[in-house]
Amino acid sequence: MALTTYVEAIRQGIWEEMEKDERVFVLGEDVGIYGGAFKVTAGMLERFGEWRIIDTPISESGIVGAAIGAALMGMRPVAEMQFADFISCAFDQITNFAAKCRYRWGAGVPIVVRGPSGGGVHGGPFHSQNPEMYYVHTPGLKVVCPATAYDAKGLIKAAIRDPDPVIYFEHKFLYRRVKEELPSDDFVVPIGKAAIRRTGSDMTVVTYGAMVYIALEAAKELEKEGIDLEILDLRSLLPFDKEAVLDSVRKTNKVILLHEDTRIGGFAGELAAIISEEAFEYLDGPIRRITAPDTPVPYSPPLEEFFLPKASDIVRVARELYAY
């Protein structure tokens, strides 16, 4: 069986849902003739036509506004943000309308807003952000961050089928670096369920997105020293699998919270509070956070390398925590 890249997995997932359900359509900048900035929609215009693969003006608020209107009329829009950073231009449409429709008058808004997020590709401060927490803080939304090709496909399919708005952040650094064999049959990954990527006994690393691979790299290094990490991939941030987090912490008694997003207001802070409230008596050491610093993402490659969490950061913190 051939290996499927992360970006191809997303393309396959959207394609299969469009084949299955004629209500599904894609809209966004350059998604048609050009096939998308990262080629997620390559070939779709030829297969599905211009009524289902719609090139739009450069207006994220217009893209999401049109998607919401179509969803309220019974369609299943997939709105592409060329870079996830520009989802902020549609913030009002997403948070003040799509997220609140079901609460206000019982109307579901089954849209998917997807976009490439994250750093590591020297994209600078406007093409490298991790904006997930703005949306995690908004009741009525779902927010997913797949780390594997399997999850990328399974979560995009679950997102398209969901009756409410889903924000789908795909990490651009993983697009063509991550590959795996995918099942030939139809499958979805349920939103809100975490996955253990490595079982361990000495401490838990809770993470998501591209940081899963950084954690696995650190685990290999630490294994040589007899330090056994358990790595939990959240996969979904809203809702998130609280029980999986608490079960792992109760098992290992020490925890590192890792994400590429900046520190203040990041998901690690929320996790730390929940662990302190619900599993404090199981902890044998302080909760440790590893995140990006509170600055914009640098463009300079050496500065970006310094900015992003690295395996060496995890190794250092894990050694300190193991010795505590």
What is the spatial distance between Cα 77 and Cα 320, in angstroms, rounded to a whole number? 48
Instruction: Look up residue 2 and give its DSSP letter.
Output: -
Kindly report the number of other CB atoms within 10 A of residue 190's CB atom: 11
What is the spatial distance between Cα 142 and Cα 204, in angstroms, rounded to a whole number? 25
75-93 burial: b if 16+ Cβ within 10 Å, else e: bbbbbbbbbbbbbebbbeb
What is the spatial distance between Cα 288 and Cα 256, in angstroms, rounded to a whole number? 5
Residues annotated as catalytic are 127
Question: DSSP letters of 26-75?
Answer: EEETT-SSS--TTSTTTTHHHHH-TTTEEE--S-HHHHHHHHHHHHHTT-
| Separation of CA 164 from chain center | 17
**Contact yes or no for 83/127 (Cβ under 8 A):** yes
List CB contacts of 17: < 8 A, sequence separation 6 or more: 24, 76, 156, 157, 160, 161
